[in-house]
Amino acid sequence: MKKRISKKITIPKKQLNASQVQLLHSNRIHTLGLIAAGVVHELNNPMMGILNFAQYCLLHTPENDKRYPVLQDIERTTNRCIQIVQHLLSVSRIESIEDEPFVKGKIDSIIHMVLQLLSYTIIKQHVTVSQSIEDNLPDIHFRRGGIQQLVFNLILIALDVVRNIEKKEIHIHINKNEITIQMIIACTGSRITFENTRRQFNSFGSSEMIEKEVNLRLSVCQSIVQMHGGDMSIEHKSNCTQFTILLPVKQGEKK
Amino acid sequence: MTRKILVIDDDMAVRKSFILAFEGTDYQVDVAESGMKGIKMHHHVSYDLIFLDLKMSELNGVETLRKLRKIDPVVPIYIITSFHEEFFDQLKDTENEGIDFQVLRKPLSRDQILLITQGVLKGAVAY
């Protein structure tokens, strides 16, 4: 009798601890997001200054002056920073995907944005990213922040998969038919090492928590796909891992 | 006749951006580093177009907008900000009260500043 009672109490307590850890972790991530959003916001004013100062100097520098191309570089680079900041801002604004309105847009623009945000990690890890995206993809109705989070999470997981193998390749494929858009994120390797995730969250917890975090990420991805009326599958083969996402072209209009 | 533009922003980089953008054009640009100062300046000069920052210490952009509209219900006011989402409720309230304004997202380039100004002051909003 004692044993049975003890068992009954122990199981919920474990679950409670896991939930508390997850809640604490989510809260920390949320706080980090808010801080990042604040910093990113504040960067807009100085970047507006740099852009306009460079443009003013360009206007008053002859084109044959050797400083002219340098000023053009400043202008170009600042515009690139502005674009990155806008991307970061759009990611940091994701507070509740469920409250986010559906908008009309193209999914390939999100792929481009996420790859740009992760470009440092991709280059540093010597990963080759290739894309085959069909021309003239239709606009779909989606929750932009949700789909950003989906692509971000899947590429981050793919980067973990390729981390410790020799041939580091990620391929992104998008094609369409009349009713669905199919997005495939495939990578070489089949074992998740959690290294990128660990680096990203290393201030927050143990490797056990990190593994949970990856599972949570996959679960979030699944929810995002479902809320768009789509379907997601994961396929592990001996030497590759493939995430396949099917999104209906029209279903997203429904909330 | 020289058209007069007022820029109200507490960040020097933004004020200077506008000054440089308008240099050599037919526009006269004045700048104010606070909402209160901007209101006083408009009271004395009566500008043709006002660019107004949203997130400022002391008097923020929404409060400044309300006070400006009390002394001038018609001058075009363009709120320039990176924080429109954070001020969304206040801006929505202001709009519901019938207070007229437009919102632009920072950062703005020289071409954008000039295009907007030309569009507004020639009667056609081009941006």
By residue range, what is the domain housing residue B101?
A: 4-121
Task: Please count the structural domains in chain A.
Answer: 2
CA nearest A140: which of A230, A39, A23, A12?
A230
Residues A78 and A110 in one domain: no
- pLDDT of residue A203 exceeding 50, the answer is no
Residue in B109, B114, B117 to test binding to A, most A beta-carbons within 10 Å: B109
| Higher-confidence position of A232 and A95 | A232
| Higher-confidence position of A157 and A205 | A157
| Higher-confidence position of A139 and A132 | A132
CATH number of the CATH domain containing B115: 3.40.50.2300
Q: Tell me if chain B has a CB within 8 Å of the CB of A38.
A: no
pTM given for the model: 0.63
Give the E-state strand segments of chain A in sequence order: 103-105, 128-133, 140-142, 169-176, 180-188, 231-236, 240-248
- Round to whole Å and give the CA distance between A197 and A88: 18
Task: Please count the structural domains in chain B.
Answer: 1
Residue B83 is predicted with a pLDDT of 74
What DSSP string runs through B18-75? Answer: HHHHHTTSS-EEEEESSHHHHHHHHHHH--SEEEEESS-SSS-HHHHHHHHHHH-SSS
Residues A80 and A202 in one domain: no
Show residues of chain A in contact with B13, CB under 8 Å. 45-46, 48-50
- Round to whole Å and give the CA distance between A92 and A90: 6
Strand bridging mode A103-105 / A140-142: antiparallel
CATH number of the CATH domain containing A74: 1.10.287
Whether this model's ipTM surpasses 0.90 comes out as no
Show residues of chain A in contact with B23, CB under 8 Å. 56
Is B95 among the domain residues?
yes
Residues A105 and A135 in one domain: yes
Is B69 among the domain residues?
yes
By residue range, what is the domain housing residue A29?
A: 2-92
Residues A38 and A80 in one domain: yes
Ranges A152-161, A195-204, B53-62: which has the least confidence: A195-204
Residue A205 is predicted with a pLDDT of 47
Residue in A39, A48, A77 to test binding to B, most B beta-carbons within 10 Å: A48
> What is the average pLDDT score of chain A?
79
- pLDDT of residue A70 exceeding 70, the answer is yes
Residues A79 and A119 in one domain: no
Is B80 among the domain residues?
yes
Is B126 among the domain residues?
no
Q: How many CB atoms lie within 10 A of CB B70?
A: 10
Considering only CB atoms, A48 lies closest to which of B13, B83, B111, namely B13
B82 to chain A: closest CA residue: A41
Which tens digits make up the pLDDT trace of A174-189?
Answer: 998 878 999 999 999 8
* % of chain B residues with pLDDT over 90: 69
Radius of gyration of chain A (CA): 22
User: Among all chains, which residue has been given the structure tokens 């809640």?
Assistant: A23
Is B62 among the domain residues?
yes
Considering only CB atoms, A53 lies closest to which of B20, B83, B85, namely B20
Cβ under 8 Å to B: A residues 64-103: 82, 89, 93
Residues A39 and A129 in one domain: no
